Amino acid sequence: MSKLSDDELLEALGLDQKLAKTSSHTPREERIIAGFEEIQQFVIRYGRAPRHGEDNDIFERLYAVRLDRLREQEECRVLLASLDNQGLLSAVNIAPVDPVESMDDDELLAELEGAFGSSDITELRNVRSQVEIRAAEEIANRDKCNDFDRFRPLFEQTEGELKSGARQTRPFGKDASVNTGDFFVLGGQLVYVAEKGEEFRAPNGHPDARLRVIYSNGTESNLLLRSLQRALYKDEAGRRLTDPDLGPLFRETWDEGDIESGTIYVLRSMSSHPFVVEHRNLIHKIGVTGGKIETRIANAAHDATYLLADVEVVASYKLVGINRSKLEGIFHRIFAPAQLDLTIYDRFGHPVRPQEWFLVPLHVIDEAVSRIRDGSITDVVYDPNRASLVGLAH
């Protein structure tokens, strides 16, 4: 029997010569290929590319991050071009920013443990460092906040600002600073930094400081700035709250030629809804218009915005040189804790929850207008329990 060549022997055994040959890829290239094949398996299983978003599984989100990285790097696209039978690398529908995407390289690697490294994407770390353990213990060590009544109105106002869109949430990694007055979301709760001590250098050389942190559930903790940062990084839903940008409301000076540029109006509903009837003297709609109030409310009885009923104007204030939309936003933020929660049905039977209606006494609205005029409005918030404007806790 004649001696068979290697190729002939492989053919006789029924093996694919291409698969049998030793790979010419570097270890790093092999890892990239293996990572891409995991993404392909996900696509085969679910019929779509992995997506970002807090509603999705953590591994899907990590696959989505990995796919974005592969798309961004030319060497990866070239390496994987022949394998991309699903067109994943050519897709351009990059999803909105995910908290994972906001991390720097070190933080991302710490979470992925091998998105481009040696370990499998689904391998979770089970051993935490002593630093992580201490940080977790500090976060968990909370005491009752004995003066929480000082902070309660501030939390209520902030929640209202989130609802109205005056404040936004941002992934923590984009800005890791922590200062007095900052708001965060940690563990599903609002977190307020009430006090920040003098900065000092941690053993690793990074700046640190002792904080007094108040939580929306009425507890507080005295922890280090670095510990709070680490906790926010570790929390997938950890967020920073942006400051409400009120912007310029009034011009600093009024010229002789200035004309009226806005009217604040306060309306009272004539609705026969039982709740409205019972609280009619407290329920008010606050708005700002650049035109005539009469024109604005002419069709009130047929508009769900006005509770499908006629309204009466109980107060109006003419102002000049103002930014009407920002002014209206201020009213809504201040009185957000007292926003009317009422559902009515329009003429088609569809449920409607009208906005801009608040359970606020008229004299408090009048005081708010006065404070807007003198610039002191930023120092107060409406407290429904006291039915009055109260000073913010500093």
Q: Does residue 251 sit within a domain? A: no
Strands (E) in the chain, as ranges, are 143-144, 169-171, 183-186, 189-196, 200-201, 207-208, 210-215, 219-224, 239-241, 260-269, 283-289, 311-320, 344-345, 351-352, 357-359, 380-383, 388-391
pLDDT (average), residues 352-376: 84
Q: Does residue 252 sit within a domain? A: no
pLDDT of residue 237: 82
pLDDT (average), residues 258-278: 82
Q: Which of 112, 146, 177 is the last residue of a domain?
A: 112
Higher-confidence residue: 23 or 219?
Answer: 219
Structural domain boundaries enclosing 294: 260-391
Task: State how many domains the chain has.
Answer: 3
Position 23 pLDDT exceeds 60: no
What 3 state SS string does 222-240 have?
EEEHHHHHHHHHHCCCCEE
pLDDT of residue 314: 92
pLDDT of residue 283: 93
Residues 276 and 323 in one domain: yes
pLDDT of residue 244: 66
Position 311 pLDDT exceeds 80: yes
Q: Does residue 28 sit within a domain? A: yes
Residues 236 and 270 in one domain: no
Residues 90 and 146 in one domain: no
Least confident stretch, 73-82, 102-111, 216-225, 259-268 = 102-111
| Rounded CA separation 159/181 (Å) | 15
Q: Does residue 206 sit within a domain? A: yes
Position 296 pLDDT exceeds 50: yes
Is residue 116 within 8 Å of residue 83, measured between CB atoms? no
Residues 89 and 156 in one domain: no
> Which of 166-175, 304-313, 341-350: highest mean pLDDT?
304-313
Q: Does residue 70 sit within a domain? A: yes
Query: What percent of the chain is predicted at pLDDT more than 70?
Result: 73
Q: Please state, rounded to an integer, the average pLDDT across all residues of the chain.
A: 75
Residues 269 and 237 in one domain: no
Residues 60 and 173 in one domain: no
Least confident stretch, 39-48, 111-120, 356-365 = 111-120
SS3 category, 31: helix
Higher-confidence residue: 11 or 201?
Answer: 201
| Rounded CA separation 143/219 (Å) | 5
Q: What is the pLDDT of residues 98-153, one digit of tens each?
A: 444 444 444 444 444 333 333 343 333 344 444 444 444 444 568 889 989 888 88
pLDDT of residue 18: 47
pLDDT of residue 369: 86
Q: Does residue 122 sit within a domain? A: no
pLDDT of residue 27: 77
Position 365 pLDDT exceeds 70: yes
pLDDT of residue 361: 92
Least confident stretch, 191-205, 245-259, 278-292 = 245-259
Position 245 pLDDT exceeds 70: no
Residues 171 and 203 in one domain: yes
Count of alpha carbons within 13 angstroms of residue 111, beta-carbon side: 21
Least confident stretch, 9-13, 218-222, 343-347 = 9-13
Q: Which of 213, 241, 269 is the last residue of a domain?
A: 241
Position 96 confidence tier, pLDDT thresholds 50, 70, 90: very low
Residues 310 and 379 in one domain: yes
Residues 269 and 341 in one domain: yes
Residues 322 and 287 in one domain: yes
Is residue 297 within 8 Å of residue 306, measured between CB atoms? yes
| Rounded CA separation 79/25 (Å) | 9
Residues 100 and 191 in one domain: no
pLDDT of residue 124: 38
Residues 187 and 301 in one domain: no
Q: What are phi and psi of 368, to 5 degrees?
A: -60, -40
